[in-house]
Amino acid sequence: MKRLISLVGTLLIGATALAQGPADALRFAQLNYEGSARTLAMGNAFTALGGDLGALAINPASSAVYRYGEASFSLGYNNASMSTTCRDDLLNSSYSGRMGRINVPNAGVVASMETGNVSGLFNFSFGFGVNRIASFNSVSCGSCRTNQSTMLGSLAAAASGIDESVLAFDQDAGYNPYSGSNVPWNIIQAYDAYAISPLNGSTTSYIGSTENIDEFDVITVGGPIDQLYFCKNQGGIYEFEMNIGGNFGDKLYLGANLNIHIVDYKVVEFYSETPVNPIEFQDGITYFATQYDQKTEGAGVNLKLGDIYNPIPGLRLGATFQTPTFYSLTDVWNRAMKTEFDNGNEYYRESPDGAYEYQLVTPLRWSIGAAYTGNKGLISIDYESVNYSSTRLDVANKKFNIDPVFNTDNRKMNEGFTTSHLLRVGAEYWATEMIAARLGYNLYTTPGSLLDDDLKVSYTYPATQFVSAGLGFKLDDEGDFSLDIAYQRMLPQYDFFSVYSDYDTFKAPVFSGDHTTDKLILSLVLRF
């Protein structure tokens, strides 16, 4: 059974008892800071700047720049969209989908205390912040009318060689194929819901209900089928920062964070096939649908150090180092399937909940930055580096000693993933004493490729670009209250995917199209 790589969701045909793999590991290893409206508008280019609670996630020395206390709260809205076309679509149509979510990308407080020294440590700061450092919100979709292949044909081909007795429930013997076999759950459900059936009395060969067989034992797709696919990915990673910083002579600012990462990820995949003319199908099927739900939760921890240095007036230099993040994660998933036939029979099958605990080690990260500040504004640029080839998966309760269960996945990441280079650029201009305009740009180069062992081809993850803009408003003459607004857009990415695998001589439809995301953040800041 050959499998086409899909990078926009969990393949329906490939989702089995374990969902963990290199693509899942990369999802949690990649970061895309959101933070406050000010930091987002300026492309999060704050390694050398500091002075913003959204920047605590970028450089812990940000708190040391403060000579006052500050609290902030941000409210955000994320929108994801995708528009696709399908190869072999008899209608030559397009399909689009979108999804929006409200979140809290930033909240925190920092307090600065003077030492009274005339040299050495001028003041020190304590801060606590919550920043959203990754968003999983995305949507994938596709619609196709085709007579070239069918998911049920793909499932029947995948079941080839599996004895029927392994797929069948045996209540008298207490046998449950979900727990008593290593067969993918979608194959078990397809058999139980009469979506696939034994072929010509065989106990190890199968035919899909959307397939016909002639007198020469030649299998064909019964006729045109309307296929619909929709996938929603939701959630993100929140970083809780416990921060301490110090200002040495108004020249050197040092800071450290103990970071706790909270992971919340959900994916819902839906796929259906509806025969256009059910009378053309020998099995009389009128409708087939399957849905896969997965939730991943867990926590991780790392330590981040940073500094900001002022060598000459107006110029700031910054650097950070973050240790690997050690995660403990749990996946919980289930699957449902429904079939309907022209004789009135309907079958609905739902799997038990599956669960798996595992560990993930994401790479260390480091960054450098430079900024120049003037009377009317500033410009800042950051460079960040992360080597994704050092990402590692492991079984739970092993204290990160690599277990053979993940040997293949870890090898793929070591060989296929690479060092990604992150460029962040930002600018701020105070048009008046009360209003500031901001611009930002981000470039994330590819984290590498994933190899499909069956097809012997690899998929290279695309580079990602973001543009952002925003405004800042002082709400009082002293500047104690301010309101910031920011907008960020990911430049459209071209992607392609198949929902199920090619089988025998049948080719699965390939969906292609553009997807993008938009973010809007509103921040309220109080100085004290």
Asked if 391 and 405 touch (Cβ cutoff 8 Å), the reply is no
| pLDDT value at residue 93 | 83
* Rounded Cα–Cα distance for residues 49 and 480 (Å): 20
Q: Residues 367-396: what's their mean pLDDT?
A: 96
Residue 304 has pLDDT above 70, yes or no: yes
Distance CA 198, CA 22 (A): 35
Mean pLDDT, range 352-363, rounded to an integer:
95
pLDDT band at 459 (very low <50, low <70, confident <90, very high): confident
Least Cα distance to 273 among 184, 149, 187, 186 occurs for: 149
Q: What's the average model confidence in pLDDT over 229-244?
A: 97
For the chain, what are the domain ranges?
A: 22-142+235-345+355-527
Q: What is the pLDDT of residue 25?
A: 95
Percent of the chain at pLDDT exceeding 70:
94
For residue 153, pLDDT beyond 80:
yes
The backbone torsions φ and ψ at residue 266, rounded to the nearest 5 degrees and listed phi first, read: -135, 140
Mean pLDDT of the chain: 92
What is the pLDDT at residue 115? 93
Cβ–Cβ under 8 Å, residues 246 and 121? yes
Mean pLDDT, rounded, for 446-470: 84
Strands (E), 32-168: 70-86, 94-114, 121-135, 138-146
**Lowest-confidence region among 4-8, 144-148, 487-491:** 4-8
Confidence of residue 457 (pLDDT cuts 50, 70, 90): low
Q: What is the pLDDT of residue 3?
A: 30
Burial per residue of 57-84, b for 16 or more beta-carbon CB atoms within 10 angstroms, e otherwise:
bbbbbbbbbbeebbebbbbbebbbbbeb
Q: What pLDDT does 8 receive?
A: 34
Query: Would the pLDDT of 6 be above 60?
Result: no
Say what the pLDDT of residue 4 is: 34
Token pair for 195 = 């979506």
222 token code pair: 């019964």
Indicate the residue type of 311: P
User: DSSP readout, 448-477?
Assistant: BEEEETTTTEEEEPPPEEEEEEEEEEE-ST
pLDDT tens digits, one per residue of 383-441: 999 999 999 999 987 655 555 788 999 999 999 999 999 999 999 999 999 999 999 99
Q: What mean pLDDT comes out for the span 126-130? A: 96
Span 85-108, pLDDT tens digits: 998 899 988 999 999 999 999 999
Largest CA distance in the chain: 97
Residues in the chain, how many?
528
Instruction: Give pLDDT tens digits for 38-62.
Output: 999 999 999 999 999 999 999 999 9
Q: Looking at residue 403, what is its pLDDT?
A: 59
* Mean pLDDT of the region 137-145: 95
3-state secondary structure 220-265: EECCCEEEEEEEEEEEEEEEEEEEEEEEECCCEEEEEEEEEEEEEE
Contact 443, 493 (CB under 8 A): no
* CATH topology assigned to domain 22-142+235-345+355-527: Porin (2.40.160)
Of 195-199, 447-451, 519-523, which range is least confident? 447-451
pLDDT surpasses 80 at 10:
no
Q: Assess whether pLDDT exceeds 60 at residue 1.
A: no
The Cβ-side half-sphere exposure at 322, using a 13 Å CA radius, reads 31
Of 2-6, 78-82, 189-193, 464-468, minimum mean pLDDT range: 2-6
Is residue 148 exposed (0-12), middle (13-18) or buried (19+ Cβ within 10 Å)?
Answer: middle
Q: Which of 269, 276, 282, 278 is closest to 337 using CA atoms?
A: 269
d(CA 286, CA 283): 9
247-271 pLDDT, tens per residue?
999 999 999 999 999 999 999 999 9
**Mean pLDDT in residue range 360-377:** 97
pLDDT at 225: 97
